[in-house]
Structure 1
Amino acid sequence: MKIGLLCDALGYKLMGAENAGHVKIYTIEDGALHEEEVKRIGDTGKLDVLIGKTMSESVVNSVDADIYLLSGADWVIKALEGYVMGTENMKKYRR
């Protein structure tokens, strides 16, 4: 599974201001979350999920994803890490 985080999804905490207009890509493989790379919008290739705080029509048109998820919270990656580590670990990330 390939997951892309739009710069706005986690703000500049993870990606830095210089990465505005970029997508940070993660994969879930063999029960583990792997950080791949940061790519410009339009250069991401096919994604299963794109997560962003706000998404303009041009972003949706530029990124090929099966699911477009709006979320502005920084717990998204922590929840995904908990998911791939198992439900026991995920409990600590619940709100």
Structure 2
Amino acid sequence: MEQIMNYVKPELIVVAVVLYFMGLGIKQSQTIKDKYIPLINGAVGIVLCGIYVLATSSCQTGQEIAMAVFTAITQGVLVAGLSTYVNQIIKQTGKKD
């Protein structure tokens, strides 16, 4: 977990929390199969991180735009992975051997 935290921007940790609770909500609604929840979390994570990156960086040149897109995608995937990781830690520590 510490290694993941080294790569996630601290201000985007809140996105991981949002994705965690969103995943719980989707699971409880039972409208979408469980196997699609990580994909949905990943897509929403990329979009939310994209909004943040676009709001906080200047995108005037092609290089800046490419860097913003890359940052949004990598941060979105990382926060989605972090939310799934936390979910699994909670599930696994609650199991009885």
With a CA cutoff of 8 Å and minimum separation of 6, indicate the structure with the bigger relative contact order.
2
Indicate the structure with greater helix content.
2
Indicate the structure with greater strand content.
1
| Shared fold (TM-score, shorter chain, > 0.5) | no
TM-score range, shorter chain: under 0.3
Q: Which protein shows a greater Rg?
A: 2
Please, what TM-score do these two structures have when normalized by structure 2?
0.25
Please, what TM-score do these two structures have when normalized by structure 1?
0.25
